[in-house]
Structure 1
Amino acid sequence: MQNDFLNPNPPVQPPAQRSEGCLGEVTWLGMGLTLPMVNLNFYRKAAARKLSSALIVFFVFALILTLLTTVVISRGLKAADQAMQEAYAKGDFPTITIQDGQATVDAPQPFYILDQADMLVVLDTTGTITEIDPDRYSQGIFLTRESIEILQDDGRSQSLKLSDLQEVMGQNPLVLDQASVKTYWQTFSGVFTLLSFFALALWHMLVRLGYLALLALLFWPLVRQIRPAVGYQTVFGIGAYVLIPAMILNHLITRSGVTFCGLQTLILAPLWALVLWWALRDPAGKVAETALRPWEMLIPLPLFALIIVDRMVNIPNGDIYLWGAAALTLLAAAAITRLLPASKTHGAGTPPTIEPLP
């Protein structure tokens, strides 16, 4: 084999395959979490990278969602604890007895502990109330005869059977009165928060991953009709990045009070199709490609920060502020693209071929 020192024109490794080092991978991770919102050219670069890069971005994004939702649940449980303590101090809180997995309350029901615009805490073992209305409340805790139902601010509900709670507490009957409620509630809050974290991690990381994989299987044959060389991994990887703006848009819509089964798929599918068309439409050969600028990661950060704050404190009329922040983010991205055009780099217009799954 000829030494590169003696060879004046050694072969150049394709940019997509060149090792970037730790700093390069961290930079790509940051861009993968932010640029899908504001830079379409990001997807062309993403199509030329390995699937592992997309999976890392996906799992980090899923972990962020899991941690954020867990914190929101924990704050809701603390608010319920404070409301119960205030009710006990006024002598307004009934005694709750849980025996053999079934609860009884020594007071007329439904018994409302906290009933505010964004939070409901209610006891009803009679069946008068069947669920917390997600159109009226953003969060809630509901004691039924056999379970504790918790409504999250994203509209999903979690349930804990009272029999499981008794098993954790090691008490039968389990009596919640003024003397014991604080200790028991703190234990319950810790257990439920931990269980919620693992349940959310399972949902965001594994269930959502399978959901993406299934959608990619539907998109891939259609893409191959136009670009036969494109592999399944390329389609799947692009979908993992498209998921981020799709979930942001889904959050804005649900925050505005519009929610129904299949909304996320209705948002994700057309976005995915448009991005695939954009990222893979260039003909084979050398084409001018816009370089990515890492500092553009800063553009969507104010929107992300506002979403986090709104999830934590439920800003009044937060949907208006969120839509405004989203519009400003897109306008800023468009203005920067026009006023500060990125330099051009020349590279392969077609992403490297990835062998399709058998």
Structure 2
Amino acid sequence: MTAGAKTLVEIAGATKRFGPVTAVDVLSLDIRENEFFALLGPSGCGKTTLLRMIAGFEQPDVGRILLDGRDITAVRPNRRPINMMFQSYALFPHLSVYDNIAYGLEMEGVRGAALKQRVDEALAMVRLEEFGRRRPHLLSGGQRQRVALARALIKRPRLLLLDEPLAALDKKLRGQMQLELKRLQHDTGITFLVVTHDQEEALAMADRIALLEAGKIAQLGSPRALYERPASRFVADFIGVMNFFEGRLAALAGGRAEIEVDGLGRLWAETEDLDGAAVGGPVTLAVRPERVRLSVAPAGAAGQNALSGTVVGVAYLGQDLIVHIGLPGQPAPLVARLGSGSHIADDLVEGAAVRCDWPPNDSRILLV
């Protein structure tokens, strides 16, 4: 995405209700030109309804949708310079790859050499030059997805909508296609808007993410911002894995907070802003598993954020180890992630006494 790019799509106070259910609740956001934008959230959060409103398949009860500054709220789907790739791909089984891709242009009256040139360019773009005469049932899942992408991109839309585009693929192929989608978006310069419930998918592909909760935006920002600086417990819990410690704010001064946690004593965090926090009030300290440092230490822990615990489980994931550590007074174990080649990996067995700690600047304070 180009820095300072202008707004392509503006959602202005959109609300959509289905009977007593409010699917999208007075939601406003902008999507920029040449941006890979993700709508992320759990089932029922409103992301697909919002996508369908942008496509024109649903009308907002309140609010407007603008494209290039023009109000398209009442414009029919086929009159919008927008294309959509569905999760099912919706390829015509009786047509070849070439004819599937050509179909949209043929409906617009493009014929002959102009049609062939456009289709050949689209096949090259998705690296399927040798598959033009095959039928969809002879292709792999990833190849069928590329055909659907080529068919959607060949009409050169201002905006491409993708509804759970990788859901039907296995894990390894999803990883490959994430990079492929990112490449295609960069090469074409077309704005991509993807709907997904998979936070890893959104983190890997998007320039910006809008995380939705109950029809509202819980947080909007870059993948790094949502991961490193979650604005709420919901965001911190939905994006990746997070350890939470419930406690009370014991002190707040000089950009540092002290939190009193039952059974553990005081934990520390560096914080830029805690508007609304009051000393003695409830807060949650959050820390990512990869920020937790482990050492085998039967003796008591000492120092800031240093805790003594016992290994209650270890999961081997190839290059990583996920270690679960029981801590005094905590209802859930602390989760730590470290490389499987770590010099202490062999010592991390169930029942082992360990010391865990993390720097205060790796903690995040969330208001309860």
Interval of TM-score (by shorter of Structure 1 and Structure 2): under 0.3
Higher relative contact order (CA 8 A, sep 6+): 1
The structure where helix makes up a greater share of residues is: 1
The structure where strand makes up a greater share of residues is: 2
Using the size of structure 2 for normalisation, the TM-score is 0.24
